[in-house]
Amino acid sequence: MGWSCLVTGAGGFLGQRIVRLLMKERELEEIRALDKFFRPELKEEFSKLPSKIKVVLLEGDILDELCLKRACQDVSAVIHTASIIDIMNTTRRETIMDVNLKGTQLLLEACVQASVPVFIHTSTLEVAGPNSYTEIIQDGHEDLQLENTWFAPYPYSKMLAEKAVLAANGQTLKQGGTLSTCALRPMYIYGEGSPFLATLIREALDNNGVLTSNGRYSVANPVYVGNVAWAHILALRALRDAKKAPSVRGQFYYISDDTPHQSYDSFNCTLCQEWGFCPDYRLHLPLSLTYWIAFLLEAVSFLLSPVYKYAPPFNRHLVTLANSTFTFSYKKAQRDLGYEPLFSWEEAKRSTIQWMRSLVRQHPETLKTKTQ
């Protein structure tokens, strides 16, 4: 029988990759792509995708209950990627909590009311930590009892949202049957369209080729966006399969791939090698000193908050996140979902660098040099 799938955050970095992969799913008749806004070029691309599958673009707010009710009507599955990602605390806490937590809760309720049987939630590594840069987790796994202790709005909201999703597993649907849920926790996601890499390139070009250094002391295993999207497709298949579903329901999975384990700075240097971009460590401070400077900046921000909104250039959470040894295995996803990376490290690197090359060519300084 034909079926349909709703993807929230479908205009985002990960969401649009999921939509493209969904186009190849057997017997899928309709994809509903929900986001607050779709760029004109993405609208055009989705309208020209060579497939018999109907793609319906829905522009709406994740906090709009009527919008969610309509989006979920007669849908077979939901992939929920929509969220606000903010590690610098530049967005109001209430806004992040509303979108990431309340939006997820409203979507779960809409699924129950519309009797949508499958719900896949895009979570994050940050629901597990790291909580201290002295903490060392290498090749971590789901059986470790790890939980974020930061009160920063992004990891805190995502942690509560994931708990809500997993707690909803088994909930009775309005028209009978039960809701099946799972959550995926990707590592730091890179690839074409990455907003973090786009910012990194712009800042390096504006700073004479010097990369911003945030993660010299880390050991991380970034994951390619195409492989994260693929994991969502496999989770969707598993929850729709009567034989596989029992072992997947109510579970969470770390999603990584075969990208080499290295520091974030080394990873960025690898991607930027073509242009010679690398951090300048001549004035680099010890990690412990950087951490306590971050604490002082946060204190200043707090003291000024009644009269002035000061956003520190970095905070303790960012220092910890970017400088910890925190890597995870994908063995559980491999066992339960049949997950294997769809793209090799060499393929992922090549595609990412090709996209970054286009950003360098479009930058005003590059264009200025070409015309001189």
Alpha-carbon distance of 173 to 178, in angstroms, equals 5
CB 285 within 8 A of CB 296: no
For the chain, residues with pLDDT lower than 50 are 367, 369-372
Q: What is the pLDDT of residue 366?
A: 58
Assigned token pair, 9 = 């955050």
Cβ contacts of 327 within 8 Å, gap of 6 or more? 137, 138, 139, 140, 187, 219, 220, 221, 256, 261
Alpha-carbon distance of 233 to 15, in angstroms, equals 12
Classified as helix, coil or strand, 67 is helix
Question: Which of 102, 158, 174, 243 is flagged as catalytic?
Answer: 158
Q: What is the pLDDT of residue 284?
A: 83
Q: What is the pLDDT of residue 309?
A: 87
**What residue type is assigned to position 243 of the chain?**
K
Domains and CATH numbers, the chain: 3-193+222-261+327-345 (3.40.50.720)
Closest CA to 252 of 187, 183, 186: 183
Bin 40: left if φ > 0, else alpha if -120 < ψ < 50, else beta: alpha
Classified as helix, coil or strand, 87 is coil
Q: What is the pLDDT of residue 365?
A: 63
H or E, element range at 28: strand 28-35
Tell me the pTM. Answer: 0.95
**What residue type is assigned to position 99 of the chain?**
V
**What residue type is assigned to position 196 of the chain?**
F
Catalytic residue at 158?
yes
Alpha-carbon distance of 5 to 19, in angstroms, equals 9
